[in-house]
Amino acid sequence: MSRFSKREYDSRVIAFNIMAYAFVLAAVIFCVFPIILIVSGSFTDNKELLANGYALLPQQFSLEAYQQLFRYPEDIIRAYISTIFVTVTGTAAGLFFISMTGYVLQRKDFRYRNTISFLIYFTSIFGGGMVPWYIMLSRVLHLQNTIMARIFPGLMTSFLIILMRTFIQNSVPNAIVESGKIDGAGDFTIYLKLVLPVIAPGLATVGLFLALGYWNEWYVTSLFISKKELYSLQYFLYDMVNSQKMAQELAARGGVSVADVPGESVKMAMVVVATGPIIFLYPFVQRYFVSGITIGAVKG
């Protein structure tokens, strides 16, 4: 007992904690500072922003940027809906395929599990590169300007499959599968009814990776989508930022006041809107996420 109370007053412990608080606080400020800058910018009047630049707190709180952003909300709402649709379907389908594959590949009685695992892993160490991949998807599969182009490439990665395989291996007792077999259940039924319900942390972890990938996707859209109606939310923002830059340059050249170009603060409001729900996802899956990474990353 005395050992522990002694530890509490140990000067080294105090020194450690002072150091720890200093560094962790520094890291917290480093991470949150740019985000505050953006949020503050979105609540600042555009003229003030142009006059005084970005600041940590708006001198005059203003909702104008958001009002302006949603004056013609059709495009944003469309990008929002399509991104939600892509994220939900892509994540659901990806989770289904990945967990199914992970389950099969960890079955000890499945003879080709190592060969197939290696074939999947191999794609992460060698590939044809971006250009042949682009030609394949656009010229052979004809995915340009289809919603499929935004769903297909993000469905799975070899890393996530191996993570899931290892997770199932380490967290699902073999007895569960055996008991299913004794009851005469088929392999798919065992996966669906017995395995899926007990791998929630693995599903949450992989699901978070997938959903984040879909939500923040701009790259695939930039390659395959030219129709504005099919833009992902991030690409919509990217497009807006670029056309604003261009308008600014034109305005500067043409002698028009930069202040008349729709503005800085609207862009910041769009950033806040585009980040939206994904940032609130983490607290919900946080509990599972850590155990998902831990168990899945242990090499099996």
Partner 1 sequence: MTKNGTSAPGNAKKKIGFFHEVKKNRILFLMLVPTALFFILNNYLPIIGVYYAFTKFNYAGGLFYSPFVGLDNFKFLIQSGKLGALTFNTIAYNLVFIFLGNFLQIFLAILLSQMVGKVFKKVAQSIIFLPYFVSYVILSVIVYSLFNYEVGFVNGTLRSLGQEPFDAYNTPNIWPFLMVLFHLWKGLGYGTVVYLAAIMGISQEFYEAAKIDGANIFQQIRYITIPLLVPTFIMLLLFALGGIMRGQFDLFYQVIGTNGVLYDVTDILDTYVYRALKQDYDIGMGTAASLYQSIFGFIIIMVVNTIVRKKQPDYALF
* Window 105 to 124, contacts with partner 1 (CB under 8 A): 107, 109-112, 116, 118-121, 123-124
CB-based contact 83:214 (threshold 8 Å): yes
Which tokens hold the place of 92?
A: 């659901």
Cα–Cα dist 235/186, whole Å: 44
Cα–Cα dist 200/167, whole Å: 10
Q: Which of residues 15-44 bind partner 1 (CB under 8 A)?
A: 16-17, 19-21, 23-25, 27-28, 30-32, 34-35, 37-38, 41
Instruction: Single out the residue of 181, 120, 196 nearest to residue 155, CA to CA.
Output: 120
Closest distance to partner 1 from the beta carbon of 28 (Å): 5
HSE-up (13 A, CA, CB side) for residue 79: 27
Q: Which of residues 55-74 bind partner 1 (CB under 8 A)?
A: 55
List, in sequence order, every beta strand (DSSP E) within 91-247. Answer: none
Closest distance to partner 1 from the beta carbon of 22 (Å): 9
The contact pattern for partner 1, residues 153-182, with x = CB under 8 A and - = no contact, is x-xx-x--x---------------------
Instruction: Calculate the CA 139 to chain-centre distance.
Output: 28
Q: Which of residues 261-300 bind partner 1 (CB under 8 A)?
A: 264, 267-268, 271, 274-275, 278-279, 281-283, 286, 289-291, 293-294, 297, 299
Q: Which of residues 230-259 bind partner 1 (CB under 8 A)?
A: 234-235, 237-238, 241, 258
Which tokens hold the place of 114?
A: 């190592």
Size of the site for partner 1 (CB under 8 A): 105
Residue closer to partner 1 (CB basis): 30 or 72: 30
